[in-house]
């Protein structure tokens, strides 16, 4: 009996979120009220509040659904075939594409996520944490395969995340839309160069000994610093 009751409650929660998501897409999350959602479901607002304590909780739950789809696209790349470099490029491209598609197909739903990130909702923080974790998995794989040479994969993931943020952050991608450079490929190339396996110092033969070739110091520049 308990399982049946829990299953029914789960279906009701899903129905509420389905209707809320549809109304958010039509008129925007700020203009949609709990009464609007309840009316569509032919239930009382009080019944909706049995499942969600506040409208803000519904907003976050709908936003969480949207971000889950983006994270799933990223997870598909992380778990798929290819080298770490290929995965890093494909991963960031998948995030960018998911945000672009949502922005172009339904700006009102994108507005919900813009607000979530601007106001630092918990779903936004969780999303950033998940992206960092997925990046760390890619970087650790590259380290293991000898493709990358990184001392701290967690820190490297944070740095790559920060460098690429304008391409997947719902608010920043809009703010930076009119700036053509850098492109995503430019940024990925930059990140890959930073992660790449370090090359051994070049060596030259001088007299009877072998010496490491080191860059010449710019004494004038140092004196003027």
Each residue's pLDDT tens digit, 132-182: 999 999 999 999 999 999 999 999 999 999 999 999 999 999 888 888 889
- 97 and 70 Cβ atoms separated by less than 8 Å: no
Residue 51 pLDDT: 96
Q: What percent of the chain has pLDDT over 90?
A: 78
Considering the domain architecture, whether residues 13 and 79 belong to the same structural domain is answered as no
Report d(CA 203, CA 210) in Å as an integer: 7
Considering the domain architecture, whether residues 71 and 90 belong to the same structural domain is answered as yes
Report d(CA 50, CA 159) in Å as an integer: 42
Report d(CA 225, CA 222) in Å as an integer: 5
Considering the domain architecture, whether residues 81 and 148 belong to the same structural domain is answered as yes
Residue 178 pLDDT: 84
Residues 6 or more apart in contact with residue 63 via CB below 8 angstroms: 112, 113, 116, 121, 123
Residue 5 pLDDT: 59
Residue 214 pLDDT: 43
pTM of the entire structure?
A: 0.82
What's the structural domain count of the chain?
Answer: 2
Considering the domain architecture, whether residues 75 and 6 belong to the same structural domain is answered as no
Quick: pLDDT tens for 93-129: 999 999 999 999 999 999 999 999 999 999 999 999 9
The range of the structural domain enclosing residue 112 comes to 62-225
Helix (H, G, I), strand (E, B), or coil: what is residue 205?
strand
Considering the domain architecture, whether residues 88 and 190 belong to the same structural domain is answered as yes
Task: Determine if the peptide bond prior to 41 is cis (ω within 30°).
Answer: no
B/e letters for 160-180, b = 16+ CB within 10 Å, e = fewer, are bbebbbbbbbbbebbeeeeee
Token representation of residue 90: 């494909």
Considering the domain architecture, whether residues 43 and 66 belong to the same structural domain is answered as no
CA angle 108, 116, 6 (to 5 degrees): 90
Considering the domain architecture, whether residues 189 and 111 belong to the same structural domain is answered as yes
Q: What percent of the chain has pLDDT over 70?
A: 84
Q: What's the CATH code of the domain at 32?
A: 1.10.10.60
Q: Is the pLDDT of residue 201 over 80?
A: no
Residues 6 or more apart in contact with residue 151 via CB below 8 angstroms: none
Q: Is the pLDDT of residue 31 over 70?
A: yes
Considering the domain architecture, whether residues 135 and 196 belong to the same structural domain is answered as yes
- Conformational region of residue 132, where left means phi above 0, alpha means psi within -120 to 50, and beta covers everything else: alpha
Considering the domain architecture, whether residues 42 and 66 belong to the same structural domain is answered as no
Torsions phi, psi of 157, nearest 5? -65, -40
Residue 198 pLDDT: 64
Considering the domain architecture, whether residues 69 and 28 belong to the same structural domain is answered as no
DSSP 147: S
Alpha-helix runs per DSSP H in 28-152: 34-41, 45-51, 55-78, 84-105, 107-118, 122-144
Q: What's the CATH code of the domain at 201?
A: 1.10.357.10
Considering the domain architecture, whether residues 84 and 17 belong to the same structural domain is answered as no
User: What's the N-to-C CA distance of the chain in angstroms?
Assistant: 77
Considering the domain architecture, whether residues 77 and 43 belong to the same structural domain is answered as no
């Amino acid at each position: 009996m308990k399982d049946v009751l829990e299953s029914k409650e789960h279906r009701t929660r899903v129905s509420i979120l389905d209707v809320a998501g549809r109304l958010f897409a039509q008129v925007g999350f700020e203009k949609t009220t709990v009464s609007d959602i309840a009316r569509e479901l032919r239930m009382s607002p009080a019944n909706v509040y049995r499942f969600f304590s506040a409208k803000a909780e519904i907003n976050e739950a709908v936003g969480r659904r949207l971000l889950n789809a983006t994270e799933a696209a990223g997870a598909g790349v992380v778990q798929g075939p290819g080298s770490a470099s290929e995965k890093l490029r494909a991963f960031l491209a998948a995030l960018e594409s998911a945000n672009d598609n949502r922005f172009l197909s339904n700006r009102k739903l994108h507005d919900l996520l813009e607000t979530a990130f601007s106001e630092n909702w918990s779903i936004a923080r969780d999303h950033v944490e998940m992206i960092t974790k997925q990046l760390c998995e890619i970087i650790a794989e590259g380290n293991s395969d000898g493709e990358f040479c990184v001392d701290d994969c967690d820190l490297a993931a944070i740095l790559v995340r920060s460098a690429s943020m304008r391409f997947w952050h719902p608010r920043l991608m809009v703010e930076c839309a009119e700036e053509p450079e850098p492109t995503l490929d430019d940024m990925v190339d930059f990140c890959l160069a930073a992660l790449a396996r370090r090359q051994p110092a070049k060596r030259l033969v001088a007299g009877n000994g072998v010496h490491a070739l080191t860059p010449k110091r710019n004494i004038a520049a140092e004196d003027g610093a």
